[in-house]
Amino acid sequence: MKPPFKNVLCPTDLSPTGDAAVALAFALAGDGGMVHLLHVWEPAYVLSPLDATPVVMLPSSPESDAAHEKKVHHHLRRLVPDAALAHDVRTEITVVRDGDPTGTIRREAERLGAEVIVMGTHGRTGIGRALMGSVATDVLKTARVPVVLVREPAGRA
């Protein structure tokens, strides 16, 4: 399938790389299309000092959860380009609290009928990738639709 796309999923971690992916997602959306912005909010954990595996989930409150979700919505709304309105590109923002970002992204892509997934990648290698993992790599390997990866903006790597 070639751009412009009618249904674009853009998962973001709210980083500068994620923000760059949002801009590209809107650039790839055709007139009358839809860009689904998704933030998968992973619960906070205490990590084992031995192997960095999650040991205990930190508690949260409904108030702090609501404040975080409001902050995410505000951040993502600011990224919607004015040109999107001129081309009747609609935006949907979804925040999901889940410890499995790859699975959530894959499920959302299928549920939404996304034609393409556009997301940032931090390009970690070696020990950084081993400890932190790579959601982008996992999505690239398992998605049923094309995945466009946006690299770290110049000067930030």
Of the two residues 66 and 45, the one the predictor is more confident about is: 66
**155 in any annotated domain:** no
Instruction: Flag whether 48 is in a domain.
Output: yes
From 1-5, 29-33, 106-110, 126-130, the region with the lowest mean pLDDT: 126-130
Report the pLDDT value the prediction gives residue 127, as an integer from 0 to 100.
45
Q: What is the pTM of this model?
A: 0.83
pLDDT value of position 56: 58
In a domain, 116, yes or no: yes
Q: Which one-letter amino acid corresponds to residue 132?
A: M
Sign of CA dihedral 14, 16, 20, 23: positive
Q: Is residue 14 part of a domain?
A: yes
Nearest to 99 by CA among 128, 133, 48, 51: 133
Residue 69 neighbours by CB under 8 Å, 6+ apart: 41, 95
**87 domain residue, yes or no:** yes
Residue of 6, 149, 22, 11 whose CA lies nearest to 77: 22
For the chain, the domain total comes to 1
CATH number, domain at 139? 3.40.50.620
Q: Residue 156: inside a domain, yes or no?
A: no
CA distances from 90 to 7, 36, 77, 139 (A): 10, 8, 12, 24
Q: What is the DSSP letter of 113?
A: T
* Secondary structure E strands in the chain: 5-11, 29-41, 45-47, 54-57, 90-97, 116-120, 147-150
What pLDDT was estimated at residue 8?
Answer: 98
pLDDT tens track for 112-135: 999 999 999 876 554 444 444 588
- Does 157 reside within a domain? no
**Owning domain of residue 115:** 5-150
d(CA 110, CA 102): 13
- Better pLDDT: 154 or 89: 89
List, for residues 64-102, the tens digit of each pLDDT value. 888 989 999 999 999 999 988 888 999 999 999 888 899
